Amino acid sequence: MKRDKTETFYLEGKQEMTLSASSNPFSQSIGEATTQEAWSALEVQQNAVLVDVRTAGEWQETGIADLSSFNKKPITLSWRTQPGMALNPQFEAQLLAALPDRTTPVYFVCRSGGRSADAARAMAQLGYTQCFNVLGGFTNWLAAELPRSNA
């Protein structure tokens, strides 16, 4: 008998939940964007935001997206923490504090697209109406030669 994978989530930093993949509310639909689509949206949508959910070590190693040509900075907020890659129990509360308007277009990026998809689904579950996962993550950002800066 195959056992369903489970994971623990913290909603708004308060309630711990352990969910099986088949009952996971974070499977909520989110949008997807290529790195070029995300870049274009960040350029033309004044209120669009990029949230980089990688770890501090990843930011130090490869840098962060440079949005200075749009007079913007990405929000750097780890979805998982080092060591051990445990979920950041303060993620939702910290993002809610940084982005109280839940209609803000939010583009989530990680290294390759997995963590950012999870973060986007979690925030969609909390009522954010325009959550997008950047496909291929920062790896594709670098491959597309989009601007980056040192963390």
Q: Map residue 10 onto helix, strand or coil.
A: strand
C-beta atoms surrounding 68 within 10 Å: 10
Report the predicted TM-score, pTM, of the whole model to 2 decimal places.
0.81
| Radius of gyration for the chain, computed over Cα atoms and rounded to the nearest angstrom | 15
Q: Which fold has domain 26-149?
A: Oxidized Rhodanese; domain 1 (3.40.250)
φ, ψ at 137 (rounded to 5°): 60, -155
Per-residue pLDDT of the chain (151 residues; tens, 9 = 90+): 433 444 444 444 444 433 333 344 444 579 999 999 999 999 999 999 999 999 999 999 999 999 999 999 999 999 998 888 889 999 999 999 999 999 999 999 999 999 999 999 999 999 999 999 999 999 999 999 999 999 7
Task: Look at residue 28 in the predicted model and tell me its pLDDT.
Answer: 54
End-to-end CA, the chain:
46
